[in-house]
Amino acid sequence: MKELKLKYYLFLFLLFGGSAFAQQVSVQLSPGMMNYGGDLQSSVYTFKGAKFSIGADVLYRISKFSIRSGIHFGKVQGSDAEFTNYKSRNLSFASNIVDGNLCLQYDVFSLDDKKITPYIFAGVGVFHFNPYAIYNAQKVYLQPLGTEGQGLTAYPQKKMYSLTQLNVPVGIGMKYKVSDRIQVGIEACGRLLFTDYLDDVSDKYPDENELFKGRGQLAVDLSFRGDEVDPSLTYPSNKQRGSPAHNDNYYTTSLTFIYTLTQHSLFGGIGQRNKLIKDIDCPKNVNHK
């Protein structure tokens, strides 16, 4: 009796459940735009100041879930003169971004049954940045200067920030099935950061004399640039420079082009499933008297 029940349940699973375990390996190319949120960008989400980005991902899909991993390249920038109301502060920065991530994606509908589906994804990532400013027509990297007193003995609580850090990617998208192997769509992904120094601006101006002794005149010049707008302004030692209340972030908005490399069922497709069903030694018809 137990053997008959086992065969019966196996038969139902193969008949109705096999298609739910369709698997695919796909590659995704995502050209788009990258921007950031922080002290030198007043808008929460905007295309103003956005720069070109490109990403490539590999997706392994089982039913509605996909494990995806990829690498993205882009650039972010911010400027008081262009993007905030603090014109007299006159700070600016730009940074190239290299971003790698591992995420879990969920499709609301299965493209085995539908032509279009929204989806969401989240995971963990690592990124590299290196903020710089243009000063006297030269590119100057800001992190080694400790523009807010980082690394100075006078400020032991202010450590030099790392240029490679973890992030949390969270995104949404929509994709359309063009054919069995090709999909197109649009995707938006934000990266939550654990640093407020993506733009090299976070807290207070250090003491001018301490910064000069520890880092030199170039650090002083790039820590406070208000005198470039108004020469009468003097270095505002220990005054507020940025807002440490919230960490920075960056985000991409991309078109997506997806190509399926391989696809198969957990049981080798409908033909193989039918063969398995046929091979099951189902009980013969029993004539009841």
Buried b (16+ CB within 10 A) or exposed e, 163-188: eebebbbbbebebbbeeeeebebebe
**Residue ranges for the chain with pLDDT beneath 50:** 8, 10-20, 268-277, 280, 282, 289
| Residue 40 DSSP code | T
| Domain spanning 23-145+163-192+249-264, CATH class | mainly beta
Please state, as a whole number, how many other Cβ atoms lie within 10 Å of the Cβ of residue 73.
14
> Could you report the per-residue pLDDT of 85-133, keeping only the tens digit for each?
999 999 999 999 999 999 999 999 999 889 999 999 999 999 999 999 9
Give me the DSSP letters along 106-132: EESS-TTT-SEEEEEEEEEEEEE---E
Residue 235: C-alpha distances to residues 51, 68, 180 (Å): 32, 48, 63
> Could you report the per-residue pLDDT of 166-197, keeping only the tens digit for each?
999 999 999 999 999 999 999 999 999 999 99
CA angle 191, 197, 201 (to 5 degrees): 125
Element (H, E) at 181: none
The pTM of this model reads 0.83
CB 263 within 8 A of CB 35: no
